[in-house]
Structure 1
Amino acid sequence: MEIDAICRDVCKTYLNRDIKAILSESMTITEHVKKLAETIESLNKELQKQVLEHHDDLLRQASHATKLELVLNVINMHIQNLFANAERLKSQLDLPYETLEKHINVLRNLNSASHILRQVGRVQQLSKRLANTNDSVQKASILLELEELATDQDLTDIDAVTTELRNIRIQRQNVIKLAAGSLHQGLVNENSIQTSTALQVFVNLGTIKNKLEDLIKGYLDDCKDIIKSVLKISSSNKLKSSGSRITTSTSQEFRNKIWTELENSFADEMYNTCKQVKFLLVVVKEMHLKNPDPELSSQFWKNLSQLLKEELTQSSPAVIQALEDDYPKLLKIYCEMIKKLNYDEFKFDPTILKTLENSYLSGSLSRMSNPIQLMFSSENMPSQDGIDDLIRVITSEVSVALIEEHLSENISKNVVKCIKMLVAKMEQQIENGPEAAQVLAGSPNVVQQKNVQYCNLLHYMQLKTYRMLSNMKGSLSETCVQMIEGSLQAMTLLSGVILQPIVISINSIIETIIVTIHMEKDWARAQVTSNKNQSYSPYMKELTQFINRVYNTYLCNFQNKEVLSQKCNEIALRCIDLFILHSVLLRPISQAGRQRLQNDYNSLEQSLKIICPNLADLGRPYRIFKSMSLLVTLSPHEIIQGQTSGSSVPDSIVLLMLFSFAGPELASPHQNTGWSIPKLTTWLDEHPNEGDRLDLIAGALQRYEASTRQKNSVNYDPIYPLMSQFLEQIVKMKQVTH
């Protein structure tokens, strides 16, 4: 509106600005006054205008105000009436409320008086019952109820009750004293009825938990005193320090005194104390107490173990030295006490004696290592006497440790370390150079004799160790036996390592001799010897003599027959493989030559029995060898027929043998590739897979077929169709099986 605009302009000009800013303007005061007058006049005119324009509205507003004033007067009248009514209602309620409050106070006082009278009556009644009963269990129940009544604050200032409560406290002390004495006597005599009755007194008194804790603590204190008294060094024993060890002029008497006291204390005092705890815990368990502590027994044993550990570690150096040196004796005493207690909750904890055990194990390992160090301390060869000394020490250490399985296992680990040390020492002395491998001299050289002695000492050690384990059968745990026996395998492996250079040389010379089969020129002769047993080949005679000589000269001196048998089996297997291979590669060869070759098979079998009496134990290679001794004299048709009907001979061997029935144009695989026979042997050793060998043979047949076609010839070698068909059958059979 216009009035609003004028008012805003005046306020902006004269009210919202600093007076100094207004005066600083160019207008004079008169001009400002004039301007204000003009503004006021404009406002008056605008007000008159608004009144004239809104005259009816102003009249209506004035009438509404009159009506509102009348309504407010009516409401005010009603409010005054409401206040008057509220005052009348309040006066009507106050009087009954005050009366009711007085009655409530009276009832409260009556109830309090009644409660006090009842409590006093109950105290007097219970006091009378307490005086008339001699049963401690009932007295305890009564005393517990009286204790609960004594906590009532309303009875604090009543003289009669105070006097009774004073007498009750005296009675409680007497009951506790009698129950404690009865409990002690029951525990000492292991009288379960007396003990459970005394415990029931404390149950009824509501102090059973605290009582049990006090009892356990007392027993622990007793055990601590016992251990301390045992480990305390007599002042009459003056100890002197010598280097890192403690010595005394009467050290043996000192040790005897310590062990005598330890044995007596653990067998008597400690045992009796722990037996009483066990009996207490058993009785508590049988009583089926409400909310018993399930960890009571385990906590006692844990605390006792910790206490023993602390007391042992805090002993004097002389005592600790004695305990370390004879640790198994301490362990035996402790374990025997646990065994006598025969309680599931009381189990041996190896950790409590760990420090002593570690020191003993270190000394034990040192004692077992000393004979080994002594054996190799001089330039002389170790002897069986040194092994005997070592076995005696090992047997002594293992026997002492039989008292406890955990110690036995740790000592067995020391035995394993000792055996490994012996093997390592001997391995350093063994020589594997050319001198150790030669087998052509008339007798073993010095290096070979030395290696044989080391191998035989290893075997002697094995035999003695097995005998020791056999003597301890039933005493030593299966775990320990397996641990020690497992370590002996290192000796077997080292024996094999000693023999291996000789085996390699023997195999090499056997191969050299067998290869000479191809140098003999009379394989193709037509004459058949009438006496088969007298038809020996020169190479076979040489091979037989070599096998016999090398076994009697170089191998039979090894006393470890198990390892020797394994190595002889390796020689026999290699000899069989080489002989079969070179016998099938032999060409040209007549029927007479095949007959002589069969005799060579029989001769070789007899020769191999020198080093391997039970050739049948070789398994499949021996079966192949026996089959080949029969196949060499058969015709190609008979050979293939026997192979298709089922044979142990590999198909590749049969195919290589069939090449010997062919003419020179059908070249053998090695001839086809331009290889020498030794190179073919090497290739076959590197490719034992039958598929690879058949591929090599197929390549030779395919090349022959291609060469024949290039010559425009249709005349194939008679053996070729048989070999080709046989090879196709083999391929088809393999495809079916796959």
Structure 2
Amino acid sequence: MAEDTSGVLEQFEDDAVYKQFLLDDFDAKSVACNAIQDLSISQHLSKLATGISLLDKELHSQVSAHYEDLLAQASGIETLEGALQTMCASIQNLQATSERLQSKIVEPYNKSWTQTAMLARLQQTCDMIRRMGRLFQIVKRLRLQLQGGTKEITKAAQSLSEADQLLEGVDLSGVEVAQDELAVLENARQELERQAERMLEKGTESQNQAQVGTALQVLFHLQLLQPRVLQLVRSTLERLRDSVQQALSVGSLDQQASAAFGNRGPGRAAMPVTGSSAAFRAALWTSMDRLVDSVCQACCQIQQLEQVLAKKKDPVTHVVFLQELQKSGHGDILRSFWLSLAEMLSDELAKAAAESTFLRQAFEGEYPKLLSLFNGLWKRLDQIEGQTPASSDGEPSGHFLSQDDFKLEDALCGTLAPLEKAYLSRSLSRLLDAVNVALSGSSHESRPSQDDLDGILRAISSELRVASVDGRLCRLVAKNVAQAVHQLAARCEQLAALEGADALQVNGPATHAQQCNAALLHLLHLFQTQMDSSLSGNSLESPEAASIVRTALKTVEAVIQGIVQPLLNAVSQSIEAIILTMHEEDFCTPAVDRMAAPDAPCSLYMRELQQFLSHCQTDFFSAWPPAPAVTQG
């Protein structure tokens, strides 16, 4: 039978008219409209009647085949209907019971909720009344403390902090009875904040730790410790920036120099002095002295501020103020201040040097003087650090010069690095110019004079003496001196006559080339001797600098040895040739007894050897200086 049913369905699916009725989105209106548009209504009706007949036959056959199952399902439906009626009755009973329970519970619940809300509001009201009562007491006490002035300022700040904690999470803006007290608190806050800031500034400027500690305590209670401390550091940096700009202002320096120039006597007109005049330079270095004093004073102030922060504690929680700043990453105040200061100085010096040629020339030309000022600043800070007391926990506070990871001197050198580079370049140029000028007129026929050598020595001595203000600068200048010594040695080696008959002949008197070589040896030996004497006088700041120069002097010794060695080789060859003539002597003749005849002649080659050695000593060796390279050669 299932096969018959499937056959009917397949027949419907294959037919275009019947297939429409099997679709899930079947729409009777659209099917009717399509039939009308096709103008074959009678055919469609006949087709539909045929389909209905097929479906009737199929339904009849299905009912006939399954009538027993259909009867069983019909009886089951009657049983199910009885069960549903029983369930509906039970549900109605349950609903009636729940309505009775609801009527008994809702009213007590509403009363309980109302009473609970009233109790909560009563508690809030009581809490607010207690807070207001406590607030009135605090405000009364605060008024008395404010009348006490600076002596009671810490207690007043503590009372204000207590009031803030009392009012935390409570809004009394709509309570009229508390408006006066709130106004008193706001006015007291502004007054205490103003007094604390003024006290902090004055205490820092005068380095009064008591005032600074009191101000920090007040700011801590007002919860303004971190912003005000950072603001003080920033304001100190800004004041120093203004001082630097004022010290490097060409207009201000001109006024100072003109005033000094104009005070020389009555009737003298003030002339412009900008540039390399002594008055302008004097005004510049006077301003730089004052600037270094200001920087030192500012560093001392910030150092003292950090010391007080490391000592002071909250009287309630016993937390050190510096630890409070460390929580937000601002605990190392002095270090960050110095790094910012070094960066600011570097920027301002570079800016001033770029804008003014006069300042750049002054700083580059007199860089050791500028470095000496900064070294003096370093020493003063080091002395102050040695007097720094320990913090409240026994650890030293504010010791930033001795931190392994923080090199103040490196930051200082970095500030002056561009000027140092320019000065070293000028220093090297001066040294090389001295060498080139001394040897400019020299040739194989003419050697440098003693005056030329003195010019080189004076230039070297001057550079080392000026650089002796700082060990590091002295080492760098010593490297420049080493380059100048190498240049001198190379030029002298080029001037020496080391080849040819004029330079290597040993039989006749000394030639002009050999005499020039001897004069060159004397000059090099004198240069080496005077340099050794100068280095042995311990006039240099750094032993390493002396070692650098001594190492360079070895090149001079090598040049001396290179000048004498060819002639010594020629002398050795001649001596060897004379000694070889001993084979031409007639040794068959009986020897003369020297004891019996002291004046008896010796062998011919011995007489020739004696004469040659005497000739070399007289004409060559006596003209050479007693340099180690000569005596050892």
TM-score of the two chains, using structure 2 as the length reference: 0.75
The reply to whether residue 493 of structure 1 matches residue 518 of structure 2 is no
**Residue deviations 1:171-203, cap 9 Å, x none?**
334334444444444444433334323332222
Equivalent in 516, 523, 526 of residue 460 of structure 1? 526
1:118 paired with 2:120, answer no
Deviations 1:672-719 (CA, angstroms, capped at 9, x unpaired): xxxxxxxxxxxxxxxxxxxxxxxxxxxxxxxxxxxxxxxxxxxxxxxx
Amino acid at match of 2:306: L
Equivalent of residue 459 in structure 2, options 393, 412, 415: 393
Q: Aligned to 2:181, which of 146, 149, 164?
A: 164
Q: 2:11 aligns with which of 9, 12, 26?
A: 9
- 1:339 maps to what in 2? 379
Q: Which moved more, 1:420-429 or 1:539-548?
A: 539-548
Give the direction of change, closer, same or farther, for the CA distance of 1:83–1:163 in structure 2 (3 Å limit). same
Deviation, structure 1 residue 507: 5.3
| TM-fit CA distance, 1:110 | 0.7
- Aligned counterparts of 2:160 and 2:529: Cα–Cα separation in 1: 78
Change (3 A) 1:49 1:275: closer
1:7–1:458 Cα change, 3 Å: same
1:367-403 alpha-carbon deviations (Å, 9 max, x no partner):
3233212212224421232222222222222112222
**One-letter amino acid of the counterpart of residue 550, structure 2:** E
Q: How much has 1:211 moved relative to structure 2?
A: 2.3
Contact 1:371–1:389 (CA under 8 A) maintained in structure 2: yes
- The residue aligned with 1:362 is 425
CA 1:185/1:60 → structure 2, altered by over 3 Å: closer, same or farther? Answer: closer
Cα distance, 1:477 vs structure 2: 1.0
Letter in 1 for 2:344: L
Mapped partners of 1:437, 1:88: distance in 2: 141
Aligned partner (choices 278, 284, 297) of residue 252 of structure 1: 278
The residue aligned with 1:326 is: 366
Aligned counterparts of 2:181 and 2:44: Cα–Cα separation in 1: 105
- Out of 137, 141, 161, the residue aligned to residue 144 of structure 1 is 161
Report the alpha carbon displacement of residue 458 of structure 1 after superposing the two structures with TM: 2.4
Does the 8 A contact of 1:350 with 1:406 survive in 2? no
Q: Distance in 2 between matches of 1:248 and 1:131?
A: 61
| Equivalent-residue separation in structure 1 for 2:607 and 2:273 (angstroms) | 75
Deviations 1:566-625 (A, max 9, x none): 4x3xxxxxxxxxxxxxxxxxxxxxxxxxxxxxxxxxxxxxxxxxxxxxxxxxxxxxxxxx
**1:227 is matched with which residue?**
244
CA drift of 1:98 comes to 0.9
Matches within 5 A, 1:49-198: 51-133=63-145, 134=148, 135-150=152-167, 152-198=169-215
How far apart are the structure 1 equivalents of 2:75 and 2:586? Answer: 161
- What residue number does 1:291 align with? 324
2-side partners of 1:72 and 1:353: how far apart? 102
- SS, match of residue 154 in structure 1: coil
Mapped to 1, the partners of 2:47 and 2:456 lie a distance apart of: 135
After TM superposition, the structure 1 stretch with the greater mean CA deviation from structure 2, 120-129 or 291-300, is 291-300
Aligned to 2:507: 441
Aligned partners of 2:91 and 2:605: how far apart in 1?
148
In structure 2, C-alpha distance between the alignment counterparts of 1:408 and 1:352, rounded to whole Å: 18
Q: Which has the larger radius of gyration?
A: 1
On the 8 A contact 1:458/1:495 being kept in 2, the answer is yes
2:138 and 2:163 in contact (8 A); partners too: yes
Query: What does residue 717 of structure 1 align with?
Result: none
Distance in 2 separating the partners of 1:522 and 1:55: 168
Alignment partner of 1:306 out of 317, 321, 343: 343
| 1:634-690 deviation digits (Å, cap 9, x = unpaired) | xxxxxxxxxxxxxxxxxxxxxxxxxxxxxxxxxxxxxxxxxxxxxxxxxxxxxxxxx
Distance in 1 of aligned mates of 2:124 and 2:94: 44
Q: Which amino acid aligns with 1:479?
A: E
Q: Contact 2:424/2:477 (CA < 8 Å) preserved in 1?
A: yes
Give SS of 2:106's match: helix
Structure 1 residues 434 and 118: alpha-carbon distance in aligned structure 2, compared to 1, 3 A threshold: same
Task: Give distance in 1, aligned partners of 2:84 and 2:577.
Answer: 143
Whole-angstrom distance in 2 between the partners of 1:455 and 1:250: 42
The CA deviation at 1:279 is 2.8
Tell me the amino acid that sits aligned with residue 285 of structure 2: W
Q: Give the counterpart letter for 1:329 in structure 2.
A: K
In 1, Cα distance between equivalents of 2:47 and 2:247: 122
Query: Aligned-pair distance for 1:326?
Result: 2.2
Q: How far did residue 336 of structure 1 move? A: 1.5
Check 1:31–1:124 CA distance in 2 against 1; reply closer, same or farther (3 A cut). closer
Higher RCO (CA < 8 A, seq sep 6+): 2
> What root-mean-square deviation, in Å, do the aligned CA atoms of Structure 1 and Structure 2 show?
4.0
Would the alpha carbon gap of residues 47 and 215 (structure 1) be closer, same or farther in structure 2, given more than 3 Å must change? closer
Quote the sequence identity (%).
29
Once the 2 structures are TM-superposed, how far is the Cα of residue 31 of structure 1 from its aligned partner? 10
What is the DSSP-based 3-state SS (H/G/I as helix, E as strand, rest coil) of the residue aligned with 2:541? coil
Measure the CA separation in 2 of the matches of 1:438 and 1:205.
Answer: 95
Report the Cα distance in structure 2 between the residues aligned to 1:180 and 1:555, rounded to whole angstroms: 85
Structure 2: 5+ residue stretches without partners: 21-30, 259-271, 313-319, 386-398, 402-407, 595-599
The answer to whether residue 409 in structure 2 is matched with residue 409 in structure 1 is no
Say if 1:456 and 1:558, in contact at 8 Å, map to a contact too. Answer: yes
Are 2:289 and 1:263 aligned?
yes
**Counterparts of residues 203-222 of structure 1 (less than 5 Å):** 203-222=220-239
User: Which 10-residue stretch deviates more, 552-561 or 65-74?
Assistant: 552-561
CA contact (8 A) 2:201 2:232 kept: no
- Relative distance call for 1:79 and 1:476 in structure 2 (3 A) is same
* 2:405 aligned residue: none
